[in-house]
């Protein structure tokens, strides 16, 4: 059974002549431990699609399913990272991550919750910045806090809505490496399932097992496997014939 599915899903907004159909007859199945990239340009409905997976929207028709059960709202099993950071400016890095930990892991002791927060802060490489507030962080560091906050829910699926698009090239490359490392971090031998929304072809090829294109009209386009060996080196990939073929 697929972990996450959209079955013949359509979604639009507005009423009457002002109504806009954003997604049309979407069929997507995400396997357990898979890294899937949804590739499309602005206005193709990528954010709406991942919001269906997150439970922030419900389809007008069709079904959104998690482990075969209807998705009826957000849940801690599906961690979502937005393009914007949405951090609490008065809280430190630890404080922002603790917000999630305290709400999701209420049965754990205070010491256990703090230890859990520190674990994910270390995982995204911010152990040196635990006491800094968002104004003291770079854009890339703020996005790392957002990733740590999502991971702190210990989600079965990590949903990434263009989380790197606003970053400079170097920071983006570093965070791509962090995301790949997090995906490969095994828990009992099982990779975390990741769905990445992106408009960057190279980013999709660097990270994903499989890529699905989203057409401008909100329908699904081509789908293909990324049969490139891991780890994937950016420089070496430019000379890889499989990479060149897929990129073309």
**Mean pLDDT taken over the chain:** 87
First to last CA, the chain: 33
Q: Which helix (H) or strand (E) holds 30?
A: strand 20-30
Name the pLDDT band for 242 (thresholds 50, 70, 90).
low
CA distance 233 to 104: 36
Domains of the chain: 4-247 (3.40.50.300)
Are the C-beta atoms of residues 44 and 160 closer than 8 Å to each other? no
| pLDDT given for residue 237 in this prediction | 67
Are the C-beta atoms of residues 23 and 49 closer than 8 Å to each other? yes
Backbone angles phi, psi at 184, to 5 degrees: -80, -15
Q: What is the pTM of this model?
A: 0.85
Q: Which of 53, 40, 75 is nearest to 2 (CA)?
A: 53
| 188 or 11, higher pLDDT | 11
Q: What is the dihedral of CA 109, 115, 116, 121, to 10 degrees?
A: 150
Name the pLDDT band for 122 (thresholds 50, 70, 90).
confident
Name the pLDDT band for 240 (thresholds 50, 70, 90).
low
| 160 or 244, higher pLDDT | 160
Residue 146, pLDDT above cutoff 60: yes
Q: Which residues make beta-bridge pairs with 145?
A: none
Residue 167, pLDDT above cutoff 80: no
| 3 or 169, higher pLDDT | 3
The burial class, CB within 10 Å (0-12 / 13-18 / 19+), for 83 is middle
* DSSP string across 18-29: G-EEEEEEEEEE
38-87 pLDDT per residue, tens? 998 877 889 999 999 999 999 999 999 999 999 999 998 998 888 777 88
């Amino acid at each position: 059974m697929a972990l996450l599915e959209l079955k013949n899903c359509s979604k639009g907004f507005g009423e009457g002549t002002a109504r806009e159909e954003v997604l049309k007859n979407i069929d997507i199945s995400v396997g357990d431990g898979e890294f899937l990239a949804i590739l499309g340009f602005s206005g193709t409905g990528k954010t709406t699609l991942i919001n269906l997976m997150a439970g922030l929207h419900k389809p007008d028709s069709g079904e959104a399913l998690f482990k075969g059960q209807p998705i009826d709202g957000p849940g801690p099993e599906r961690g979502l990272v937005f393009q914007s950071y949405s951090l609490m400016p008065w809280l430190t890095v630890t404080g922002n991550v603790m917000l999630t930990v305290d709400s999701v892991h209420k049965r754990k002791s205070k010491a256990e919750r703090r230890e859990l927060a520190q674990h994910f802060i270390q995982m995204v490489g911010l152990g040196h910045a635990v006491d800094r507030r968002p104004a003291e962080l770079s854009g890339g560091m703020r996005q790392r806090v957002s990733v740590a906050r999502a991971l702190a829910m210990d989600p079965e699926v990590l949903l990434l809505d263009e989380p790197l698009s606003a970053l400079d090239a170097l920071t983006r490359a570093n965070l791509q490496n962090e995301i790949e490392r997090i995906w490969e971090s095994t828990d009992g031998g099982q990779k975390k399932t990741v769905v990445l929304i992106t408009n960057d072809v190279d980013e999709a090829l660097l990270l994903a097992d499989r890529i699905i294109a989203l057409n401008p009209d909100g329908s699904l386009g081509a789908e293909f496997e990324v049969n490139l060996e891991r780890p994937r080196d950016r420089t070496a990939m430019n000379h890889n014939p499989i990479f060149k073929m897929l990129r073309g």
